[in-house]
Chain A
Amino acid sequence: MTAASAAHTVPATPRKYGSMSRDRRWALCLSYFFLVVFAIFFLTPPVYMFITSIKTSQEISAAVNPWWVYNPSLANYVELLSSPVFLTFFRNSAIVSVSVVVITMLISVPAAFALSRMKFWGSATLATGVFLTYLIPETLLFIPLFKMFATFRDWTGIELINRWWALLLLYPTLTVPFCTWIMIGYFASIPKELDEAALMDGANYRQILTRIFIPVALPGLIAATIFAFTVSWAQFLYPLAFTTSADQLVLPVGIVTTLIKGDVFNWGQIMTGALLGAAPPLIIYAFLMDYYIAGLTAGATKG
């Protein structure tokens, strides 16, 4: 960092290179030291989740070192994975998340294509509007939506509250604006010559979209898919407000509301459930990290 000043004080000696590299090495060591500190800070909760999940209840309530496992056991995992209630949560979460991904893609990919390539009246305003929608948090909308669903039941007799499939209506409001937005960015970066060439060859818009845009913008599509999946999987407020009975709950809410029974906290099981709930996003992240990060940074930098 003080290469220049080092050169100044000890001019024109071989020593200079030595001190520079020593400086560099020192800076590097410092960087690694702080990275280790921050990594400990960032990884402590998940690691502690894992530690607790392989403990027995006796060990959890014993007055021993909580950071160490003396008698590791998989009892918590066995118990949760064979509990029909927990498997229902898992199934609900999986169905909801996968369906939301499909719905999101069906809505946002054609819309992004139209907004990025086929200029029509109000298309620029609509693109900005989509982005604005992304900025409206769900915490602002859940109360009116709750009332709307209740009114809808009174009018049509179709019950939407306390039905897991009603979440399929709610989650797209969180995923579609962002996915449309980043797909607009990806589509806009495709050279115009490509679709003009296809038009010359007599391709129609559907063919341009499916044969050219989707394959070329596949990385963006994967990033958007990952985003939609992780957002739906992690969503907590909507299911907490809209679903109540145990067979309708999704995983995050199910763990929070059913595993905590009154004042009895079965921490071994809660941590196991939390870890299993965190597993799908973590696995996706582990395998598709670059797409995940691309989607993350695209939101703010593509615009």
Chain B
Amino acid sequence: MVDAALERPAAAGAVRKPSALRRRLQRKSTIAFLMTLPLILLIAALVIYPALYSLHLATLNKSMERFVGLSNFAFLFKRQTFWMVVKQSCIFAITAVIFKALIGFVVAHFVHNIPTKGQRKWRGMLLVPWVIPPAMSTLAWLWLFDPSYSAFNWLLAKFGVEAIPWTAEAGWARFSVILVNVWIGSPFFMIMYLAALKSVPEQLYEAAAIDGANWWQRIWYVTLPMMRNIIAITALFSLIVTFANFDIVRILTAGGPIDQTHVFATWAFWIGIQGGDIPLGAAVSLFMVPILSIAAIFILRDINRRGNEA
């Protein structure tokens, strides 16, 4: 009805005998399609096509002349480094996400506890790690972890603790990359949880207090159930981003010592771009797909459900 109202003056003002093409171009769905066309082209050419192309690439030999089937994958399965990368990627992503969620939750509570007046200031300050480009802040961490001039080790020495080989020893290097990731990511959780905390109705807490709930029970029976959705979706988002992380590992350890801290992204870069074996690199990065798609399915399900509720 509204469309008809729109088209009448437009048609009257237009050329006397509107051609079929022109009429078609004026139709609402055609206009809409043309408006989304750049988006569709971009996604098709630079996201969907490369994603499918990497499936094809992974089945070629190193010089990309011959189809070798699944032998790239078979080769990877036989390599010890590959399994180390799988293990490290999972440890890295899962540990980092758990700690980000915990720290984000705790900090969000503390910010929520203080008077509203001061919250803005604190929130602004605590989000700084998220704002700085990760490559830049990881450089600062690299300098803090420097083998000979580490400012942390200087502090530790004041307390009589031995110097820690932050990036030189496998266990500590793994700890360091996770620490930096947690440092960068937990402010994001904090912001999300803070927004969720604000949306929990105050009456629920009052009712719980009247029923004699202590602070732990209030968190367990009121806050957590009310925030369940946002906790899940933030964690899944973060799992995807963390699992596919590149910047931190690349700058902090470059995968070392002896490939012990490589994750899929950095190892794929190492093999595919620096090592020049594009098919093998593509094969490595494809191993990210299963865990990413599981997380994506859960996120989508959640979003669709909320879409239906709205």
Q: What residues make up the interface of A, taking CB atoms closer than 8 Å to B?
A: 1-5, 8, 27-28, 31-32, 34-35, 38-39, 41-46, 48-49, 52, 60-61, 65-67, 106-108, 110-111, 113-115, 118-121, 123, 126, 128-133, 135-148, 169-170, 172-173, 176-177, 180, 196, 199-200, 202-205, 230, 233-234, 236-237, 240-241, 252-253, 255-256, 265, 267, 270-271, 274-275, 277-278, 281-282, 285-286, 289, 292-293, 296-297, 299-301, 303
15 contacts between A and B (CB under 8 A): A5-B212, A8-B212, A39-B122, A39-B125, A43-B125, A114-B31, A135-B292, A137-B243, A142-B269, A147-B278, A172-B46, A234-B136, A236-B135, A274-B137, A289-B127
Instruction: Check B136 against A66 for contact (C-beta < 8 Å).
Output: no
Instruction: Check A145 against B50 for contact (C-beta < 8 Å).
Output: yes
For chain B, the count of residues having a C-beta within 8 Å of the partner chain is 109
A203 contacts which chain B residues (CB < 8 A)?
6
Indicate whether A45 sits within 8 Å of B188 (C-beta atoms), given known contacts A137-B241, A199-B6. Answer: no
Instruction: Check A35 against B114 for contact (C-beta < 8 Å).
Output: yes
A199 contacts which chain B residues (CB < 8 A)?
2-3, 5-6
Which segment, of B15-23, B77-85, B142-150, B167-175, faces chain A?
B142-150
Instruction: Check B133 against A233 for contact (C-beta < 8 Å).
Output: yes
In the complex, what distance in Å separates the CA atom of A60 from the CA atom of B246? 29
Chain B min CB distance to A169 (Å):
7
Chain B min CB distance to A135 (Å):
5
In the complex, what distance in Å separates the CA atom of A292 from the CA atom of B130? 11
A270 contacts which chain B residues (CB < 8 A)?
139, 143
Instruction: Check A136 against B125 for contact (C-beta < 8 Å).
Output: no
Which residues 276-302 in B have Cβ within 8 Å of A in the complex?
Answer: 278, 281-282, 285-286, 288-289, 292, 295-296, 299-300
A141 contacts which chain B residues (CB < 8 A)?
46-47, 50-51, 54
In the complex, what distance in Å separates the CA atom of A79 from the CA atom of B183? 31
Q: What residues make up the interface of B, taking CB atoms closer than 8 Å to A?
A: 2-3, 5-6, 9-10, 28-29, 31-33, 35-36, 38-40, 42-43, 46-47, 49-51, 53-54, 57, 64, 103, 106-107, 109-111, 113-114, 120, 122-137, 139-141, 143-144, 146, 149, 151, 154-155, 183, 187-188, 191-192, 195, 209-210, 212-215, 230, 233-234, 237, 240-241, 243-247, 250-251, 264-265, 268-269, 272-273, 278, 281-282, 285-286, 288-289, 292, 295-296, 299-300, 303-304, 306-307
Chain A min CB distance to B125 (Å):
6
Instruction: Check A31 against B114 for contact (C-beta < 8 Å).
Output: yes
Closest residue of chain A to B269 (Cβ to Cβ) is A241
Number of A-B contacts (CB under 8 A): 311
Return the 6 tightest CB-CB contacts between A and B, nearest first.
Answer: A234-B133, A137-B244, A118-B32, A139-B265, A120-B29, A144-B50
Chain A min CB distance to B35 (Å):
4
In the complex, what distance in Å separates the CA atom of A241 from the CA atom of B285? 14
Closest residue of chain A to B284 (Cβ to Cβ) is A143
Instruction: Check B122 against A177 for contact (C-beta < 8 Å).
Output: no
Name A65's contact: one of B154, B215, B265 (CB within 8 Å). B154
Instruction: Check A300 against B149 for contact (C-beta < 8 Å).
Output: no
Instruction: Check B128 against A144 for contact (C-beta < 8 Å).
Output: no
B131 contacts which chain A residues (CB < 8 A)?
230, 278, 281-282, 285, 292
Instruction: Check A111 against B38 for contact (C-beta < 8 Å).
Output: yes
Closest residue of chain B to A277 (Cβ to Cβ) is B136
Name B2's contact: one of A138, A144, A196, A277 (CB within 8 Å). A196
In the complex, what distance in Å separates the CA atom of A46 from the CA atom of B253? 20
Chain B min CB distance to A18 (Å):
18
Indicate whether A38 sits within 8 Å of B110 (C-beta atoms), given known contacts A114-B32, A176-B39. Answer: yes
Instruction: Check A5 against B5 for contact (C-beta < 8 Å).
Output: no
Interface centre among A28, A111, A113 (most CB of B within 10 A): A111
Closest residue of chain A to B110 (Cβ to Cβ) is A31
A129 contacts which chain B residues (CB < 8 A)?
43
Indicate whether A120 sits within 8 Å of B33 (C-beta atoms), given known contacts A46-B137, A237-B246. Answer: yes
